[in-house]
């Protein structure tokens, strides 16, 4: 008994652990925003723009460099100890450093920083725009799964009705109320409903796999969406005019912000190009020293009398005194470093006079790019307005179609109930009854399709109006 209980416990534990994870729309959107490769690439672009901003800031900072070298010279050279020309190896080191800073460059440093900041803003807008598109795409995929699930439930319901009709028909045939021929249309209708259910189940599975793939989830078998009793949402947005939706969207849409920022970037590019026509003033400071590793002469403090001539009259020698020198080791590294140093500093002015028209043409090129950005901005606004008008008309039409499908479904349902009673009473034959039932089935399917078509088109319109995507 204990073994049986243990087995049951283990089975229940496995079942609980193996339950399919059901995701809400918010969870799906968050996963997509975290894992989507295009969003990651856009984030990399934003990081790159921030690095470019660091480069622009660096243009304001001084440039500091240091140099060092050690040289061996091999070849003929004079030996200071004996004055002879010999093959010698000598060594020496040199050290230096320089500092430079740009004092004025035609405001190019300032404009470069302004452009880098604008580029960061543009990349941020692009990232947010991509996030909006991904969120809308995920919401659409999520709604597609919801539609397929509800459509599947309609097919299951219709299948159950078909089964019940078959059972009732078999009872009426056995009691002699109806003939055997009546059952064939019922059986055919049942088979058709079974096919429709299989197709619906397959569509649900495929839509779930598609949604999982968009979220980079590979465990399709344990992926599902949360059960939501979702009715047609109430929205006041269709009471608004498309013009008002468009005007509000201009302040919210990130693609509009990107286009507007690109205009400012283009203007800054013109200022950058014009800055090349102005002089550049720089300040610099250089320091250098050298170290020798060769022996050297030093004065001993003594003097050597050396004849330099003879007095003609008496033949006496004429002598002079030269300081006595001796060969010794080179000065210490530190002493040579201090004694042999040198400094230079000053200002450098560079005035552009003629550059083969490159700067002038570059300015023209930047002005042309500004015109492109301005026309692109206007085109983006026109596209947005057209999109909103289309989205508004689509949502309005989808709502009217849904209302009509509701009326059609209600009428078809009543007609089916009446036909069902007539068929049971033997007043209506099986062929006409099945025709009425099929029209009821089609109306139920069309109603579900119209419902979700309206919901999605409404969500698109709300998206442009700044309403958060939610289900």
List Cβ neighbours of 108 (8 Å cut-off, separation of 6 or more): 59, 272, 275, 276
User: Are the beta carbons of 431 and 396 closer than 8 angstroms?
Assistant: no
| Number of neighbours of residue 360 by Cβ within 10 angstroms | 13
For range 453-458, the mean pLDDT: 91
- At 210-258, the pLDDT tens digits run 999 999 998 888 899 987 776 777 778 888 899 999 999 999 999 999 9
- Our measurement of the distance from residue 391's CA atom to the centroid of its chain's CA atoms, rounded to an integer in Å, reads 26
**Per-residue pLDDT for 359 more than 80?**
yes
For range 351-375, the mean pLDDT: 91
Q: Which pLDDT value is given to residue 410? A: 95
What is the dihedral sign for C-alpha 393, 395, 398, 400?
negative
Q: What 3-state class would DSSP assign to 228? A: coil
- Our measurement of the distance from residue 243's CA atom to the centroid of its chain's CA atoms, rounded to an integer in Å, reads 31
- At 286-335, the pLDDT tens digits run 999 888 877 676 777 777 777 777 777 777 777 777 777 767 777 777 87
Task: Give residue 433's pLDDT band: very low, low, confident or very high (50, 70, 90).
Answer: confident
H-type helices in 302-429, by residue range? 333-339, 358-424
Q: Which pLDDT value is given to residue 84? A: 65
DSSP track, 126-193: HHHHHHHHHHHHHHHHHHHHHHHHHHHHHHHHHHHHHHHHHHHHHHHHHTTSS-TTHHHHHHHHHHHH
For range 394-417, the mean pLDDT: 94
Distance CA 408, CA 190 (A): 23
Angle between the 358-424 and 254-275 helix axes, to the nearest 10 degrees?
A: 170
Contacts 24+ apart (CB under 8 A), 363-372: 363/270, 363/273, 363/274, 365/273, 366/266, 366/269, 366/270, 366/272, 366/273, 367/270, 369/266, 369/269, 370/263, 370/266, 370/267, 370/269, 370/270, 372/266
Pairing, β 21-23 against β 223-225: parallel
Query: Which domains are delineated in the chain?
Result: 21-58+115-278+361-471 (1.20.1600.10)
Backbone angles phi, psi at 102, to 5 degrees: -85, 120
Q: Which pLDDT value is given to residue 423? A: 82
Select the highest-mean-pLDDT range: 3-17, 157-171, 236-250: 236-250
Q: Which pLDDT value is given to residue 79? A: 66
Kindly report the average pLDDT of the chain as a whole number.
85
Q: Which pLDDT value is given to residue 6? A: 46
CA atoms within 13 A on the CB side of 126: 20
Which is nearest to 46 in space by CA: 169, 102, 130?
130
Lowest mean pLDDT among 43-57, 80-94, 109-123: 80-94
Tokens of 237: 């947005």
Task: Give residue 5's pLDDT band: very low, low, confident or very high (50, 70, 90).
Answer: very low
């Amino acid at each position: 008994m204990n073994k049986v209980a243990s087995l049951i416990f283990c089975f229940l534990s496995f079942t609980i652990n193996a339950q399919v994870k059901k995701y809400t729309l918010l969870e799906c959107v968050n996963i997509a925003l975290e894992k989507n490769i295009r969003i990651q690439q856009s984030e990399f672009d934003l990081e790159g723009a921030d690095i470019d901003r660091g480069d622009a800031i660096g243009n304001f900072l001084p440039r500091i460099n240091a140099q060092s070298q050690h040289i061996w010279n091999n070849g003929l050279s004079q030996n200071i100890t004996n004055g002879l020309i010999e093959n010698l190896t000598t060594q020496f080191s040199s050290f230096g450093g320089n500092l430079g800073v740009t004092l004025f460059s035609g405001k190019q440093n300032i404009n470069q920083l302004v452009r880098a900041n604008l580029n960061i803003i543009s990349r941020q807008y692009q990232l947010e725009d991509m996030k909006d598109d991904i969120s809308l795409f995920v919401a659409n995929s999520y709604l597609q799964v919801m539609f397929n699930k509800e459509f599947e439930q309609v097919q299951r319901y219709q299948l159950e009705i078909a089964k019940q009709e078959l059972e009732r028909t078999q009872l009426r045939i056995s009691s002699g109320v109806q003939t055997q021929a009546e059952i064939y249309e019922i059986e055919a209708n049942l088979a058709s409903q079974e096919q429709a259910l299989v197709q619906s189940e397959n569509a649900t599975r495929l839509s779930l796999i598609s949604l999982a793939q968009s979220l980079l989830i590979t465990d399709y078998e344990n992926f599902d969406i949360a059960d939501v009793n979702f009715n047609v949402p109430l929205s006041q947005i269709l009471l608004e005019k498309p013009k008002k939706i468009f005007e509000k969207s201009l302040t919210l849409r990130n693609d509009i912000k990107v286009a507007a920022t690109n205009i400012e970037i283009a203007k800054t590019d013109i200022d950058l190009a014009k800055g090349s026509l102005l002089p550049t003033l720089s300040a610099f400071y250089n320091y250098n020293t050298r170290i020798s590793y060769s022996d050297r002469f030093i004065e001993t403090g003594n003097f050597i009398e050396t004849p330099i001539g003879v007095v003609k009259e008496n033949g006496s020698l004429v002598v002079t005194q030269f300081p006595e020198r001796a060969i010794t080791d080179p000065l210490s590294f530190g002493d040579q470093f201090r004694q042999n140093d040198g400094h230079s500093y000053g200002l450098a002015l560079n005035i552009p006079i003629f550059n083969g028209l490159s700067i002038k043409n570059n300015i023209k090129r930047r002005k042309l790019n500004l015109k492109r950005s301005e026309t692109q901005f206007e085109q983006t606004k026109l596209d947005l307005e057209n999109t909103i008008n289309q989205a508004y008309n689509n949502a309005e039409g989808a709502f009217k179609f849904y209302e009509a499908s509701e009326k059609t479904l209600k009428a078809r349902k009543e007609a089916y109930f009446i036909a069902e009673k007539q068929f049971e009473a033997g007043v209506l034959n099986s062929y006409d009854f099945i025709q009425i039932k099929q029209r009821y089935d089609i109306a139920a399917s069309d109603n579900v399709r119209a419902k979700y078509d309206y919901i999605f088109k409404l969500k698109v319109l709300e998206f442009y109006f700044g309403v958060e995507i939610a289900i």
